[in-house]
Copies of this chain bind each other. A is one copy, B any other.
């Protein structure tokens, strides 16, 4: 019923590092099951000390923080292959919430086994640290755009990043990718109001840089979008998959 790690559809994507048989076997044992959730389902709550961690296998979701005044900051968008819940395992408590945007299926791991898994191979421990360091890296980029770019650059930046991530996961066909989020989500990710996001999006559309509707995003001119964003395109590096 559940996907065997041996047949994991993610692992075959070129973006993911190869695994040794041994690692594969250990990961398989670490995996305790699968979770299928409907759109809108909360997966982890900020401040919670969740007993489980996950890897997104299919579907998309959001990480976000809610401030005392009720404002929401979207930390990032969750794509297949993302490891979820590391903070709870390492720090005993999540710094943000996670929820499913589409229907999702997640590989479930038991926190009680996490330490053993971490210890089971130095390479895997390294992988986990790599993931944490990479998150930090990307968050720094995000912080820089939210702090420094104006609305049109920020939105262009976000879509370039999103599109590139999707490409590495094989989600893009003919310049089109699934993007099942709301304008409000993008607004909350970039610290912009919904109205302003909408109007800025309209400008990008008018400039023929992208089209986004019906949960589908089409990038017409990635290079020009990157120019609007005033960003340097980064090389894509292979990454580990847990």
Contacts and interface: CB of A to CB of B under 8 A. Distances in A.
Given A143-B139, A143-B142, A143-B143, A71 B133 contact: no
Contact of A119 (B115, B122, B140, B237): B122
Interface in A135-155: 135-137, 139-144, 146-149
B118 A73 contact: no
A142 B136 CA distance: 12
With a 10 A CB-CB cut-off, give which of A86, A125, A136, A148 has the most chain B CB atoms: A136
Interface string A108-138: 0000000100110010011011101111110
Task: Specify how many copies of this chain sit in the oligomer.
Answer: 2
Interface residues of A, number: 47
A71 B150 CA distance: 12
Given A65-B141, A143-B146, 17 more contacts: A67-B144, A68-B231, A71-B148, A73-B144, A73-B148, A75-B143, A87-B136, A87-B137, A90-B130, A90-B133, A95-B140, A95-B141, A125-B126, A139-B139, A139-B143, A146-B146, A147-B190
